[in-house]
Structure 1
């Protein structure tokens, strides 16, 4: 990694850039992310840079093309201050970007200061609002992320799983109206979670592999649900979630109810596509059943304002799951910094 980064930076600067130290920031089994310390500060670069290698495993994001997608997204956001600045990259390989520092919002959530965590979460929400208000919608991703780019393709799987498992069937839900709403698109992050927002002088987003042109509600719903795709899922206090949503909406000049309802309904469908796994006897993770119920209840509240039949069905499903699964009756865990409040 270091020789390639040095070569790219030498070509960029026309100077003999050398790497003198490195520290690992990410999982080498996923996508190696390393902070490289340079021999001295360089104009427009600084003393450290972040180098991100090619994804080494195939997962929900896929693998082919996604490093190009991050490079493309960083270039799209150049000069906005919303993300690191792309310095150099090898197509399908190494990406070198400016170092936006630390901490992440995740670090605050795992800490002991609820006020600091709340400020970080509100800054994260403002960042999402600024992104959706200011970033150009004219973005073409390097690769499709099917569950985000074509989420309603999951509907037949959802309907079949609900039927097979004996849960309440969807009635005349507003699927066509939801499909129409999803056609309103802009630039989105795609994985808007606490580990992907860094706080220094301002909030900036990182890890843009899943960026794409989609309905902004797919990012915004992460603030309400919260974070449905997050590996360390937990819930936030209601007053914190409300403050985050107010901060997000304050950055926009759109109908926030429709935006949030569309995003939450869509994420509920995405999560329900995993219903067979969640219901399986081999599925031993209590959190999954607690999470799907909490997601459905939150989606019912948000979506019901615009899609009342969807909202009623989500609530009915959540009630049925609580009756069937003892684990689903447990209160969801809260993030560490709020657990003693």
Structure 2
């Protein structure tokens, strides 16, 4: 039994760092409101406990915090405190990507290692998860693919961009690729952005992944998207960019991820297989983000989320082109980005002039 005698709330507000009666520090999480209402609070906590115990106890790896105790009926769980590690996104915002290149590499490596270590163990995970309550493995696997199948490329019509038969056929192939991962079926924490990795700010990064409330087995390449296409926090993330002579080189984090994944999923070494799957995952992310079109239309001119959406579409297209995959969808993304630049003159900026991991202005 762990008795908490003192605590300090962290962000989000249902997480706290606490001191036990033995003078040790732990992290306490409890059920509470979450911006993503896809699942109940109890479901999310059970999923996190299952995923973390699966990693530390079943697979015996140190990629995430250990569960020290849980009371699921009361809606509380006590986790290992990973301090003095801090969130990578805060370091990148404060100091820029060059100062934390080694930590960014560690982030990419940890994401690839998660896929490599867990690939092939889906049944083992779901046996553990089902002991804590019903779970839908198919819904985990499909993720955003299910909604894309329903709504397709409807936003292209809103922007006046034609969708040809060739585009539709390639779109169907891309979704089929993601829906049937084969050897690429691996555990994801469900939110693979840089705010969900903790690293040491001095010395070796020693990265740990956190926030497994939406964990599940899905296509591993969904976890690589954040290294190529900007998520909600960033205007640009790709480090595949030329830099002035004499400046520090940037880590090729996409390749760092790929090498780490290939250690457990050798199919990642196949240029064709990997490129097609990565392009499909990036496209799926970009098309889902495009569903925010009406919301962004209603915002004031100059809102950075508009230029960010342009950047997202162009980054997805660029990733596909770099890997010689899905040319029809890459072309569609480019046309959609051009349509947005015309629709929102305030978003017609030179994305390539931005440094990787330029934060989105709030």
TM over 0.5, yes or no?
A: yes
Tell me, in whole angstroms, the C-alpha distance in 2 between the residues paired with 1:298 and 1:336.
Answer: 13
User: Shift in Å at residue 118 of structure 1?
Assistant: 1.6
Tell me, in whole angstroms, the C-alpha distance in 2 between the residues paired with 1:204 and 1:301.
Answer: 29
What is aligned with 1:203?
Answer: 207
User: Match for 2:175 among 179, 198, 204?
Assistant: 179
What is aligned with 1:149?
Answer: 143
User: Match for 1:259 among 277, 281, 285?
Assistant: 277
User: Shift in Å at residue 282 of structure 1?
Assistant: 4.4
Structure with larger RCO (C-alpha < 8 A, sep 6+): 2
1:226-259 alpha-carbon deviations (Å, 9 max, x no partner) = 3x2x3x2232354577611121112123133233
Tell me, in whole angstroms, the C-alpha distance in 2 between the residues paired with 1:111 and 1:164.
Answer: 38
What is aligned with 1:7?
Answer: none
Q: Which moved more, 1:248-257 or 1:148-157?
A: 148-157
User: Match for 1:96 among 78, 87, 97?
Assistant: 78
User: Shift in Å at residue 329 of structure 1?
Assistant: 0.7
Tell me, in whole angstroms, the C-alpha distance in 2 between the residues paired with 1:96 and 1:307.
Answer: 45
User: Shift in Å at residue 115 of structure 1?
Assistant: 3.6
Q: Is the 8 A contact 2:320 2:327 kept in 1?
A: yes
Tell me, in whole angstroms, the C-alpha distance in 1 between the residues paired with 2:209 and 2:346.
Answer: 34
* Alpha-carbon spacing, 1:146–1:233, altered in 2? closer, same or farther (3 Å): farther
What is aligned with 1:315?
Answer: 334
Q: Which moved more, 1:88-97 or 1:183-192?
A: 88-97
Tell me, in whole angstroms, the C-alpha distance in 2 between the residues paired with 1:271 and 1:163.
Answer: 16
Tell me, in whole angstroms, the C-alpha distance in 2 between the residues paired with 1:312 and 1:242.
Answer: 28
Tell me, in whole angstroms, the C-alpha distance in 2 between the residues paired with 1:322 and 1:178.
Answer: 26
Could you state the TM-score of these two structures normalised by the residue count of structure 2? 0.77
Which runs of structure 2 are paired with 1:154-303 in the superposition (5 Å)?
154-173=148-167, 174-182=170-178, 183-184=180-181, 185-200=185-200, 202-226=206-230, 228=231, 230=232, 232-236=233-237, 237-239=239-241, 243-251=252-260, 252=262, 253=266, 254=268, 255=270, 256-278=274-296, 280-282=297-299, 286-303=303-320
Tell me, in whole angstroms, the C-alpha distance in 1 between the residues paired with 2:97 and 2:175.
Answer: 38
User: Shift in Å at residue 216 of structure 1?
Assistant: 1.0
What 5-or-longer segments of structure 2 have no aligned partner? 242-248
> Over the residues paired in the alignment, what is the CA RMSD in angstroms?
2.8
Q: Is the 8 A contact 1:235 1:334 kept in 2?
A: yes
Tell me, in whole angstroms, the C-alpha distance in 2 between the residues paired with 1:171 and 1:89.
Answer: 52
1:104-139 alpha-carbon deviations (Å, 9 max, x no partner) = 101211222644422211110000111111123333
Tell me, in whole angstroms, the C-alpha distance in 1 between the residues paired with 2:150 and 2:250.
Answer: 32
* Alpha-carbon spacing, 1:37–1:132, altered in 2? closer, same or farther (3 Å): same
* Alpha-carbon spacing, 1:130–1:296, altered in 2? closer, same or farther (3 Å): same
Tell me, in whole angstroms, the C-alpha distance in 2 between the residues paired with 1:85 and 1:337.
Answer: 32
What is aligned with 1:19?
Answer: 4
What is aligned with 2:19?
Answer: 37
1:43-65 alpha-carbon deviations (Å, 9 max, x no partner) = xxxx2111101132453544341
User: Match for 2:348 among 314, 329, 332?
Assistant: 329
Q: Is the 8 A contact 2:9 2:15 kept in 1?
A: yes
2:82 matches 1:82: no
Q: Is the 8 A contact 1:299 1:314 kept in 2?
A: yes
Q: What secondary structure is seen at the aligned counterpart in 2 of 1:172?
A: helix
Could you state the TM-score of these two structures normalised by the residue count of structure 1? 0.81
Q: Is the 8 A contact 2:156 2:336 kept in 1?
A: no
Tell me, in whole angstroms, the C-alpha distance in 1 between the residues paired with 2:283 and 2:358.
Answer: 29
Tell me, in whole angstroms, the C-alpha distance in 1 between the residues paired with 2:337 and 2:344.
Answer: 10
How many pairs does the alignment contain? Answer: 312
1:161-205 alpha-carbon deviations (Å, 9 max, x no partner) = 321342343542212321321111211121011111011351110
What is aligned with 1:120?
Answer: 103
